[in-house]
Structure 1
Amino acid sequence: MTFAGGMMVATSLPALAVTATSTEPTASVYAPVVDVLAPKVQELEVGDGVIAADVAVDEFTAVAAPPPIASSVAGFGTVEIQRTDAIVWPVTNPGRISDGFGPRSAPCAGCSTFHKGVDFIPGVGTPVMSIADGVVVTATENGGGLGVNVEVQHNIDGELLTSSYSHMQFGSLEVATGDRVTAGQQLGKIGSTGQSTGPHLHLEMYGSDGARFDGMAWLSARLG
């Protein structure tokens, strides 16, 4: 009977109840386990024949960035134009031109006998792009004989240059006066507005003195 009673207690009570009267301290099953890492110190053995060598330190000279050019833009006051070296063609097919820079026979009544720009004819609707980074100083659909016209000022090699894009389509302007543009950014599309005999881009370029020069030769010298 005593054995049977003991078995009843052992099988009917939970294990915690049986061991609750133990006088030996035990770790709680709920206590967090602390994992102590003891990394081994790494050692490097160097042979007697190895000779330590000094490592040369390269010298460098800090060069300040060239200062921007300050220019006046109507309605915006003075703006700073950062120097840029990125130059691109104003159209994707610059090999097709209808008229170059210089003396010519006037192609229409009222047209000049000295062409102040170069006429690109890549096709009506072709995007017209800024040749370099700069600031838009003119963006108008009422450019008189120039029709829809955009002018951008650039700081190239520390000199202020202006590129003028004329005869673009009505409603095609992508920029406004005062905008900063990057090389290759679209300004408008090829059209035939103003004093024009057909769809083309009339590109003029000039420096701070206002004297026009051959934009085709200038671009070809830099872009090939």
Structure 2
Amino acid sequence: MRRTRAAAPAKPSPARATTAPSASAPSKKGRITKPLRSLVILSMVGGLVATVALPAFAAGAARTTQGPLTLQQMAVDDAQSFVAASDANASELSRDSYAATTPEEIEKKKAEEAAAERARQIAAAAAAAAASRSSSSSVPTNIALTSPGTGEVRWPILNFTKGRGLWDSGYHQGVDLLSSCGTPLYAAAAGVVKVSQESYGGYGVGVSIDHVIGGQRVNTLYGHMTYGSRQVSVGQSVEAGQLIGLVGSTGSSTACHLHFEVHINGSVVDPWAWLQANAG
């Protein structure tokens, strides 16, 4: 009979150490929770986008039925507004004042104003001349009159009041003999007319006569005469006491008077003293 060999007892295997599950290995619960959380977040974001976009889209869609709209019309009521270029109205900029932006424009404006002022002064002078002619025409004048006397020197005007004298009130080279406009004026001595002008600088209507008296060269000047009243011309010979014009207030004058000057050998002398010493 075969004997069976008893089976060798199995070698005890070393007990396996029980190990805790690795922390890196995701649990079944974690694998389910994470996609769910992502889905919830995406749903919330989508909801927010829809909440913001849908009212604006709805408002825009509602307004499109009314035709094209500007950005201002699309804006909400409490939004900051602006003026679009299509809504701006073109207008001309006024240049009536000194709104120029360059020196050239400023100078041009000044030149225009100066020209306007000159035109105004010319118009005023013309009006004064017309008034002077009107007043003088009403004064009867005998053009055959001569200054009384028989002397070589005569008084250039009669019935006057003495005004400013030589060098009075600044640069004044003569004497002012005040009388009514239209009063006759006479040549103070015989001579030749040197100047006879309607506009002789500040003298206005003026006449100047060259004489030879006592062997000296004498010049007499008559200023501020009435427009159109001159009775002599340049180069004409005149006699002592001859009528040469009428008293006026032309040029640098504020009242009717004769401005009378005397120059001897080119030097200014006191005309009042000269007349008192020589006229007769």
Using the size of structure 1 for normalisation, the TM-score is 0.56
What CA deviation, in whole Å up to 9, does each residue of 1:123-160 have, x standing for no partner? 11001100000000100001021100000001100111
2:145 is the alignment partner of 1:88: no
Alignment of 1:17-28 (within 5 A): none
Any idea what SS the aligned residue of 2:244 has?
strand
- The partner residue of 1:150 within 207, 214, 229 is 207
2:278 is the alignment partner of 1:217: no
CA contact (8 A) 2:174 2:271 kept: yes
- Runs of 4+ in structure 1 off by over 3 angstroms are none
Matched with 2:147 is none
Bigger fraction of residues in strand: 1
CA contact (8 A) 2:223 2:258 kept: yes
Residue 220 (structure 1) shift: 0.2
Higher relative contact order (CA 8 A, sep 6+): 1
Distance 1:146 1:170 in 2: 12
Matched with 1:117 is 174
Distance 1:181 1:171 in 2: 19
Bigger fraction of residues in helix: 2
Any idea what SS the aligned residue of 1:216 has?
helix
| Largest Rg, 1 or 2 | 2
Give the aligned length. Answer: 131
Any idea what SS the aligned residue of 1:115 has?
coil
CA contact (8 A) 2:152 2:279 kept: no
Any idea what SS the aligned residue of 2:163 has?
strand
Distance 1:88 1:117 in 2: 17
Distance 1:101 1:141 in 2: 24
Matched with 1:173 is 230
Distance 1:92 1:186 in 2: 12
Instruction: Write the letter of the residue equivalent to 2:255.
Output: G
Matched with 1:126 is 183
Instruction: Write the letter of the residue equivalent to 1:87.
Output: V
Matched with 1:204 is 261
Distance 1:149 1:222 in 2: 23
